[in-house]
A and B are shown apart, each in its own frame.
Chain A
Amino acid sequence: MRHLLSAGDLSRDEAIQILDTAEELLNVASRPIKKLPTLRGRTVVNLFYEDSTRTRISFEAAAKRLSADVINFSAKGSSVSKGESLKDTALTLQAMGADAVVIRHHLSGAPHRLASSGWMHGAIVNAGDGTHEHPTQALLDAFTMRRHLGDLTDRRITIVGDVLHSRVARSNALLLSTLGAEVTLVAPPTLLPVGVEKWPVHTTYDLDSALHKADAVMMLRVQAERMQNAYFPSAREYSRRYGLDARRMGMLPDHAIVMHPGPMNRGMEISAEVADSVRSVIVEQVTNGVAVRMAVLYLLLSGSNESDPIPESLV
């Protein structure tokens, strides 16, 4: 593994290795000294072109717990707002000796461009690109499910909401099917992407029918900032047909867990009562996120990456 660009690139063995590694690293959080010396002297750059709180601080905490140096670069208030291109930013980071770049970008494919361009030689981690993918979120979701449900083979996972704009849904669908789970996407027809029939998932428009056999239900955020068109008549109607409230939670099997990648729109896709219930693992997802990202950084950065020396022309 050289980069982490898509959850679909992971083989089952690689995915299991990340999850097993994260399992061990989760214990670090409960120790008096929450730090490992493993990535001492390595530099991790958080390159964020899009607003993010939890993903950025999660990666920052993960890198710092492994003793890496962290440089946070957000597009706002940087030379990007003066019109610097991704290429020039990448060359700058390369010249500063970035060993890994964690990139979030509003355009799908930006991490892939960075990884395949030859502009820089560090490992690239996709922290969310446009409406494409968010692999570490899928890994932490799978990790959380595994802790509650055990092996995910043949487990039924229901993902509900704005699949069209959701990189979380895509990464989860890919990773969960690699891990052998059965994924059902629930959304209004307007919020299912074109080509979803080629995904390794089932789809339905009816939430109630997808609850009684679900082992985990994942509510997606309604992404108002990505919705220029009217995808559904009103917030109230969306909430009534696709929101998870106490009545619907009652239809789930007793062992089923409720998840949300955050940030939540309480009262929209998930009611406050459900979000705060004992079956909700939403806060736990955040804790697990740090362990999973530590595992990813460890596996990408600790080994010998016999990366070719930097061509003179780029320095």
Chain B
Amino acid sequence: MSSTSASPRARVVLDDRDISRALTRITHEILERNRDSRGLVILGIPTRGVHLASRIAARMSEVEGRTIAHGALDITMYRDDLRMKPARALEHTSIPEDIDGKTVVLIDDVLFSGRTIRAALDALSDIGRPRAVQLAVLVDRGHRELPIRADFVGKNLPTSLSEKVRVRLSESDEADQVTIEGGEAA
């Protein structure tokens, strides 16, 4: 949910250390909830969800002492707003292993309306039939438009609709940072 230029009124809500701690905690929560890393498939939603998925998979590999595969799930073709905007470029989908009977953990940066996750669930069901699907997000900013919730949340950020939550990650941006921009008079 990142967008255009940083405004002077941007407020940093998570810095690089906060993000790192949140991801470590999420990693442990995922392992705790699922008892075992076997049967887990970590899938990030492009673009920043994929970066987060690879970080979480790396931490998990460290804890479990074996390599945990992770992949990417592009949801562009499943969006419900395709007809409202110009055609978008597709992102890469890579599914590391067969997801049938596995527990898929979807990773995204910001949970907002829930429409992205709705699209991701549709995309998953075309690829296979997981035993369960869980959702981990770095930031939950509220304002859901669908009955969807996250299983693992880095930080709950109450926001107003006029505010913009921006997640920057060093893989694609200059640094690790979550900011809130705009607000009051938008």
CB-based contact B88/A27 at 8 Å: no
B28 interfacial contact with A, CB 8 Å:
no
Residues from chain A with a CB closer than 8 A to the CB of B122 are 37
CB A294 to nearest CB in B, in angstroms, measures 10
A20 interfacial contact with B, CB 8 Å:
yes
Query: Complex: how many Å from CA A38 to CA B86?
Result: 14
Number of A-B contacts (CB under 8 A): 48
CB-based contact B87/A36 at 8 Å: no
Cross-interface CB contact of B89 among A17, A32, A304, cutoff 8 Å: A17
CB-based contact A38/B90 at 8 Å: no
A298 interfacial contact with B, CB 8 Å:
yes
1/0 per residue, CB under 8 A from B, across A276-315: the answer is: 0000000000000000000000111011100000000000
Interface residues of B, CB < 8 Å — how many? 19
Binding site for B on A (CB under 8 A): 17, 20-21, 24-25, 27, 31-33, 35-38, 66, 298-300, 302-304
Can you give 28 A-B contacts (C-beta < 8 A)?
A: A20-B90, A21-B89, A21-B90, A24-B91, A24-B92, A24-B93, A25-B90, A31-B127, A32-B127, A32-B128, A33-B127, A35-B126, A36-B78, A36-B126, A37-B78, A38-B77, A66-B77, A298-B77, A299-B87, A300-B87, A302-B87, A302-B88, A303-B83, A303-B86, A303-B87, A304-B83, A304-B84, A304-B86
Sample of 17 further A-B pairs with CB below 8 A, known A31-B127, A32-B128, A303-B86? A20-B89, A20-B90, A24-B74, A24-B93, A25-B90, A32-B127, A33-B126, A36-B78, A37-B77, A38-B82, A298-B77, A300-B87, A302-B88, A303-B83, A303-B85, A303-B87, A304-B85
Knowing A32-B127, A33-B126, A37-B122 touch, does A24 contact B78 (C-beta < 8 A)? no
Closest 6 A-B residue pairs measured CB to CB? A303-B87, A303-B86, A24-B90, A33-B126, A36-B77, A38-B77
Interface centre among B93, B126, B128 (most CB of A within 10 A): B126
CB B135 to nearest CB in A, in angstroms, measures 21
